Chains A and B, each alone.
Chain A
Amino acid sequence: MSTVQDADRSATAGVRPAVDRKTLERNGKSRTYLGMAWRRLRRNKLAMIGLGVMILMILVALGAGLISEYITKREPQAQSLRANFMGIGEDGYILGSDDLGRDTLTRLVYGARVSLGVAGLSVIAALTLGTVIGTVAGFYGKWIDSILMRFVDIMLSIPTLFLLLLVASLWRLGPWTLSLVIAGVAWVTLSRLVRGEVMAVKSRDYVDAARVVGVGNWRIMFRHILPNVAPVIIVWASLVVPGLILLEATLSFLGLGVQPPTASWGNMLTYSQKVWSHSTAMVLLPGFAIYITVFAINLFGNGLRDALDPRLTD
């Protein structure tokens, strides 16, 4: 009797959890936080268009070499004085050429590599710095917080461009150092945001629970608190990248960023000022490239913000 019952029980016990796990997995897959955010994001048409343009731009930047090899069939620095100021589509110059006969499309494509590369690198550096400083300030509080946040206040009150101007006048900047310098001023706003979030999260019960179990400070900060602050960081990153692209373009435009002959969208615009009586397209195109990229990332960033945290919507 008892053995039968036991067998029966063990049979159901053996079957039921299997079913449960299956349904759990099925439901769980679509109900995770990120899964739901992704579904919300997919419904936002403008954000998806932005994402598409963004991916396209990244592919173009990565494939710059292939494009110059197979599509435009020209090198970015190759000059030809017999083919200067070609019109759009003239003689194989898809978007025309400049006063030295350099192919505009090839240069734009290589410019994308510089613009997106600098923005990408500086956002990664700024993310790291801002997150660490914000987390430490928010978690420890007291004098550490005071010192770090007063520093942030100071950085916020010097107009960014003036500070960058000072730095650019003191050192000669290449793409790598430029990214680091831009990151050096960009992390400030993030650290403020992260600090506020960390202060809110650190009083939650699971943080106390982790502490009771004997988890150390650093592990609590980066394994227990940080994942809950992640949405804020992701949204900040997606909304700050357009600003960084503009900043790099502005510095290069002023002649303090990426130096010619390396093409960047900013210094192409500077160059176009010299020749605009000959070619309006040269003024229009680099600016348009910046505009489209920045606009697309802004659209995507807005959508991402709405999807990740509907409360943040303005």
Chain B
Amino acid sequence: MGRFILRRLLQVIPLLIGISIITFALANLVPGSPVSGLEFNPRTSPEDIARIKDNLGLNDPVWKRYFIWIGNVAQGDLGISLRNFRPVRETIIEKLPNTLLLTGTSLLFALIISIPIGVYGAVRRNSTFDNVSTATAVAGFSVPTFWLALMLILLFAVKFREWGLPSLPAGGAYDLRGGGGLFDRMEHLLMPAFALAFVQMAAWTRYIRSQMLEVLNQDYMRTANAKGLRERIVIFRHGLRNAVLPLVTLLGIAIPDIFAGSLIIENIFAYPGIGQLAFNAAVNKDYPLIMGITLVAGTLVIIGNLIADVVYSMLDPRIRLD
């Protein structure tokens, strides 16, 4: 077990280095430099420009600048935002909890909804429930997330209010006028988390259904039935446990998608998280900030996959053997 985790940890290092190289390379491939604006200013002399360039380290070769940058990153210094001159690290740490709350809630939604539907569909195969849920899942898989989010807002925030029904808030993480309580935050999370979970829900429902169908045909299921156990126990104790196992890997694969989704959702719902931050940074051409966010998002994905792998190897001893 310890060796497996160690080996997996060692594999992470080249990935992290690779991500940093790609991020750095992209930002440095851009034509122009931070001082190119000054070059057109008649009041700055060429000596000044040379001095500024020297101070910023722009005369160094690219590989040297990369090592300086990565050295700073390793010490937790992601640079300073070009927009508001605050340290990038501080800004990200401030917004990250909101994003983790949103993505975590949506993962929970997706699991809570897809597992029962998938299992029930497999157990009652070809029933009306199964057919309807499969068709919905196939149809749901194609829904554009941002359109779904707009539709939710239009219905539950705008139209419900017009009709005098209890409506949900259209955006934000909490009510700016004295909000921030538990209920207030949950109310604000409901729509974005559901919209974010929707595609995953559709995909996982189909996956769990097919996994469950496979498990139902296994010998141990027949044995459990033959022992005279009640159907409920056979399905949940013997079946579900085995069917849900591969979902851990699927969860790991879904993490990048969910992060990407949070970028869209946070911007539509004006939810103050990493996604909104990244988008604003892109619009403002705030390179240090967007480089920092890309790096952090990539690292989080790698950590997520690592955890998924380790958890899976704990749950299923078979895969540790190879």
Contacts and interface: CB of A to CB of B under 8 A. Distances in A.
Interface of A: 150-151, 153-163, 165-171, 242, 246, 249-250, 253-256, 269, 272-273, 276-277, 280, 283, 287, 290-291, 294-295, 298-299, 302, 314
B264 A169 contact: no
B154 A283 contact: yes
B294 A158 contact: yes
A242 B281 CA distance: 28
B168 interface: no
Interface of B is mostly: helix
**Most central of A154, A298, A299 by chain B CB within 10 Å:** A154
Interface string B15-45: 1001100110011011000000000000000
Contact of A250 (B146, B283, B293, B298): B146
A302 B137 CA distance: 13
Contacts of A170: 26-27, 29-30, 285, 287
Given A158-B19, A163-B294, A291 B301 contact: no
A160 B27 CA distance: 16
Contacts of B138: 298-299, 302
B147 A169 contact: no
Nearest to A298: B142
A170 B294 CA distance: 14
In order of increasing CB-CB distance, the 5 nearest A-B pairs are A287-B147, A154-B18, A161-B260, A169-B282, A295-B142
B294 A169 contact: no
A154 B15 contact: yes
A42 B251 CA distance: 35
B263 interface: yes
Given A151-B18, A169-B290, A298-B142, A254 B264 contact: yes
Contacts of A166: 23, 26-27, 282, 290-291, 294
B81 interface: no
Contacts of A302: 138
Contacts of B298: 157-159, 162
B136 to A, nearest CB: 12
Contact of B260 (A155, A160, A242, A269): A160
B139 interface: yes
12 contacts: A150-B14, A153-B15, A159-B298, A162-B294, A166-B291, A170-B30, A242-B142, A246-B144, A250-B146, A276-B154, A277-B158, A302-B138
Contacts of B133: none
A118 to B, nearest CB: 15
Contacts of A276: 150, 154, 158
B285 A162 contact: no
B256 interface: yes
B106 interface: no
A152 B292 CA distance: 21
A169 B150 contact: no
B279 interface: yes
Nearest to B139: A295
Contacts of A161: 259-260, 263-264
A272 B153 CA distance: 13
B210 interface: yes
A150 B18 CA distance: 9
**Most central of B30, B141, B282 by chain A CB within 10 Å:** B282
A169 B144 contact: no
B206 A314 contact: yes
A167 B291 CA distance: 11
A157 B279 contact: no
A249 B150 CA distance: 14
A171 B30 contact: yes
A165 B141 contact: no
A161 B15 CA distance: 18
A155 B23 CA distance: 11
Nearest to B260: A161
Nearest to B28: A170
Contacts of A294: 142, 144
B151 interface: yes
B170 to A, nearest CB: 11
Interface string B274-315: 000011011101010011011001100110010000000000
B297 A162 contact: yes
Contacts of A162: 259-260, 263, 278, 293-294, 297-298
Interface string B56-81: 00000000000000000000000000
Contacts of A155: 22
B290 A165 contact: yes
Given A158-B19, A269-B150, 17 more contacts: A157-B301, A159-B297, A159-B301, A163-B294, A165-B263, A167-B26, A169-B281, A169-B290, A170-B26, A242-B142, A246-B144, A255-B283, A287-B150, A290-B147, A291-B142, A294-B142, A295-B142
Nearest to B261: A161
Nearest to B299: A157
Nearest to A153: B15
Contacts of A255: 283
B73 to A, nearest CB: 15
A158 B142 contact: no
Contacts of B283: 169, 255
B174 interface: no
B285 to A, nearest CB: 6
Contact of A269 (B29, B141, B146, B293): B146
Contact of A168 (B147, B207, B259, B282): B282
A157 B26 contact: no
B277 to A, nearest CB: 11
A298 to B, nearest CB: 5
